[in-house]
Chains A and B, each alone.
Chain A
Amino acid sequence: MANVSIRKVVKAYEGDVQAVKGIDLEINDHEFVVLVGPSGCGKSTTLRMIAGLEEITAGEIWIGGDVVNDVPPRDRDIAMVFQNYALYPHMSVFENMAFGLKLRKFPKDEIKRRVDDAAKMLDIQMLLDRKPKALSGGQRQRVAMGRAIVRNPKVFLFDEPLSNLDAKLRVQMRTEIKKVHQLVPTTTVYVTHDQIEAMTLADRVVVMNHGIIEQVGAPQELYHNPQTRFVAGFIGSPAMNFLPCQVIDEGGLKVQLADGTKMAIPAARVDRYGPFKGQKMTLGIRPEHMTETHDSEKPGVQLMNANVDVIEPMGMETLVHHFVDGVAVCSRIDPNVQTGPGQILPLAIDMNNMHLVEDASNRVV
């Protein structure tokens, strides 16, 4: 077990393309950190640099107190689970899991004990004699995890391990991975493009975009206090709504939307947003904070009428899509509220949960 430290790490490819632009990240011992971001944001490259599969252009990577920049993958004491499982097709499940231990010249009974323990933990004891081609996707992914566990490495690396599985299996394996980490709390770096996976698995989530780290934080913190427009829009599903607005002072601080709608800013936030008076900003509001109206609204709630465009009943909730001055907006309402396309739906906007983005810097203020 060990901590991982990434210091000013840069990865540049030929032609001066920078995939990773000088990132800093401290990963604590036993911590489960998820790197999340869209394709090409540099998350996989970062993981592969930790693994030693990509050379580091500049900066330093430390694992357990040692700089590993020039240490080959096999001497870094890490284990990696790949998206396409990467099982050795000609070896049985047992041989696949034992391969790393055999190369490291572990005694036979020790290898057998470790493989049996890992197989038991992952519930694959009955598959040990099979070849990978005789396994389902989920079973293959378990074997790939088993291969990592038996090594008892300092750090686990996961490269989009659930992307090849169907939706149902993905949810199931997500729980399994979490359970394994509770049983074997090895430092883990996990890469995914799926923000739900990131939120559910991580102790801390690292949101990356265009080769830089946008924000690092606990899942709830990222959700409630995003620091940039990108994080605000990336975390949460359906995504946060963004509406162009202006901060005005008309008998109290208000935001004025492009269509003229004015909404009061709650008293608790007046100090925070006061300095932006007169500036063009973007109002960020999550779909769950634009809901159906109730008989008595709490303070800070503003009302707005929506002209319903499309409704999506999800069972436990209904998503309502409408437009505010040409900008598509999504609201989350109680499934019992009767509405349909073309109808006017009164909505309650909970301004206590509003976000305000400064357009010039794309930072949430």
Chain B
Amino acid sequence: MSATTANNVPVVKKSKLGSLERQRLWSVRGSFAALSVFVVIFLIPPFYMIMTSLKSSAEISAQKGNPWIVQNPTLDNFIHLATDASFQRYFLNSVWVTALVVVLSMTIAILAAFSLSRMGFKGATVLSTGVFLTYLVPPSLLFIPLFQIVGSLGLINNTWVLVLLFPTLAVPFCTWIMIGYFNSIPKELDEAALIDGASYPQILILIFIPVALPGIIAATIFAFTVAWGGFLYPLAYLYSSDQATLTVGIVRELIRGDVFAWGMIMAACVMAAAPPVIVYTFLMDYYVAGLTAGATKG
């Protein structure tokens, strides 16, 4: 029964929200619930890593207490690593290898993508598909045949081998992202520049690179991740301590036989993870924009 006023006029109870808004509210709640599950799953390992890195060895091996909480936080692990000469060496190796790989890969990828997207030569379409197909070959299949090549070049146990090999992983995908991005730039833009008097290199440098900056940043992040986080190739080709990068250095240095220096392993992981986290945080918006542009127009 509907409520009535003194004058017998029926009053319809009105909800604060329309049905469409209510539906939207529920879908927002639903997606938050689903996403929370994933967030928890993905954040547990880094959380545990940070907690452990702040514990002393005694606390790690203690049977009592909640393993998720630090009782007596200490920076000993970090200080020990930061002052350790080999760890500094690994870090430095990772930095220069990554920097060179990023510069080299992006230079090749941008030039390749520009010519595949714009120069319109015969076979450009087949070639750009080919570029992507090479990305689909898993690196784990390649490291044995590559050993032969690297060996014949005399690069076994030489950090420079990574500057040669990481671009083979980074260039195809970066080129693919850049082709998609360049293709989304209207053809009239380079035609206008051609008529304005620009040469192809000028079109690339003055028009394409600034316009495609989000795509370039996305590809750069990818190349950075490949070089910084690469494990298989450094493990396979670098065996002496002074040549190793961070990823294999941590494993070799801090796991001796069956003795795991857990506190220091975790502290090293935190320090190794810091640069990508910082890079991602600052460039996140560009990264998303770059990937979607490549995806829809590629």
A joins B in a complex: yes
List the interface of chain A (C-beta within 8 A of B): 51-53, 72-74, 78-80, 82-84, 86-90, 99-100, 103-104, 147, 151
Report yes or no: A90 in contact with B210, Cβ–Cβ below 8 A.
yes
* CB-contact partner of B202 in A51, A80, A88, A103, under 8 A: A103
Report yes or no: B189 in contact with A51, Cβ–Cβ below 8 A.
no
* One of B58-66, B134-142, B157-165, B191-199 at the interface: B191-199
In the complex, which residues 192-234 of chain B have their Cβ closer than 8 Å to any Cβ of chain A?
A: 192-199, 202, 206-207, 210-211
Report yes or no: B191 in contact with A88, Cβ–Cβ below 8 A.
no
Report yes or no: A53 in contact with B211, Cβ–Cβ below 8 A.
no
* CB-contact partner of B197 in A51, A83, A87, A104, under 8 A: A104
List the interface of chain B (C-beta within 8 A of A): 186, 188-189, 191-199, 202, 206-207, 210-211
Q: How far is the CA of A180 from the CA of B14 in the complex (A)?
A: 61
Q: How far is the CA of A103 from the CA of B207 in the complex (A)?
A: 13
Q: How far is the CA of A246 from the CA of B210 in the complex (A)?
A: 67
Report yes or no: A86 in contact with B186, Cβ–Cβ below 8 A.
yes
The 5 closest A-B pairs by CB, nearest first: A100-B196, A86-B188, A74-B197, A86-B192, A103-B197
Q: How far is the CA of A53 from the CA of B199 in the complex (A)?
A: 14
Report yes or no: A84 in contact with B211, Cβ–Cβ below 8 A.
no
B192, B193, B210: which has the most chain A beta carbons within 10 Å? B192
Report yes or no: B197 in contact with A84, Cβ–Cβ below 8 A.
no
Report yes or no: B191 in contact with A80, Cβ–Cβ below 8 A.
yes
Contacts of B194 in A (CB 8 A): 52-53, 72-74
* CB-contact partner of B189 in A72, A88, A147, A151, under 8 A: A88
Contacts of B196 in A (CB 8 A): 74, 99-100, 103, 147, 151
Report yes or no: B211 in contact with A79, Cβ–Cβ below 8 A.
no
Q: A74-B195, A78-B195 are in contact. Are A86 and B189 (CB under 8 A)?
A: yes
* CB-contact partner of B207 in A74, A84, A88, A151, under 8 A: A88
B186, B188, B195, B211: which has the most chain A beta carbons within 10 Å? B195
* CB-contact partner of B186 in A52, A84, A90, under 8 A: A84
Interface contacts beyond A53-B194, A86-B189: sample of 6 additional A-B pairs, CB < 8 Å, sorted by A: A74-B198, A74-B199, A78-B195, A80-B192, A86-B192, A99-B198
Contacts of A74 in B (CB 8 A): 194-199
6 contacts between A and B (CB under 8 A): A53-B195, A73-B195, A80-B192, A83-B188, A147-B196, A151-B196
Q: How far is the CA of A233 from the CA of B210 in the complex (A)?
A: 48
Contacts of A99 in B (CB 8 A): 193, 196, 198, 206
A74, A79, A84: which has the most chain B beta carbons within 10 Å? A74
Contacts of B207 in A (CB 8 A): 88
* CB-contact partner of A82 in B192, B199, B210, under 8 A: B192
Q: A86-B186, A90-B211 are in contact. Are A80 and B195 (CB under 8 A)?
A: yes
Contacts of B202 in A (CB 8 A): 103
Report yes or no: B191 in contact with A82, Cβ–Cβ below 8 A.
yes
Q: How far is the CA of A131 from the CA of B199 in the complex (A)?
A: 24
Q: A88-B207, A103-B202 are in contact. Are A79 and B195 (CB under 8 A)?
A: yes
Q: How far is the CA of A73 from the CA of B192 in the complex (A)?
A: 10
Residue of A nearest to B185 (CB): A89
Residue of A nearest to B191 (CB): A53
Q: How far is the CA of A74 from the CA of B194 in the complex (A)?
A: 6
CB distance from B277 to the nearest CB of A (A): 29
Q: How far is the CA of A345 from the CA of B194 in the complex (A)?
A: 59
B194, B197, B207, B211: which has the most chain A beta carbons within 10 Å? B197
Contacts of A80 in B (CB 8 A): 191-192, 195
Q: How far is the CA of A8 from the CA of B92 in the complex (A)?
A: 67
Report yes or no: B195 in contact with A51, Cβ–Cβ below 8 A.
yes
CB distance from B3 to the nearest CB of A (A): 52
Q: How far is the CA of A80 from the CA of B188 in the complex (A)?
A: 10
Report yes or no: B211 in contact with A82, Cβ–Cβ below 8 A.
no
Q: How far is the CA of A53 from the CA of B195 in the complex (A)?
A: 9
A73, A83, A104, A151: which has the most chain B beta carbons within 10 Å? A73
Q: How far is the CA of A72 from the CA of B193 in the complex (A)?
A: 12
Contacts of A52 in B (CB 8 A): 194-195
Contacts of A104 in B (CB 8 A): 197
Contacts of A72 in B (CB 8 A): 194
Residue of A nearest to B207 (CB): A88
Q: How far is the CA of A115 from the CA of B202 in the complex (A)?
A: 22
Report yes or no: B195 in contact with A84, Cβ–Cβ below 8 A.
no
Contacts of A87 in B (CB 8 A): 192
Contacts of B188 in A (CB 8 A): 82-84, 86
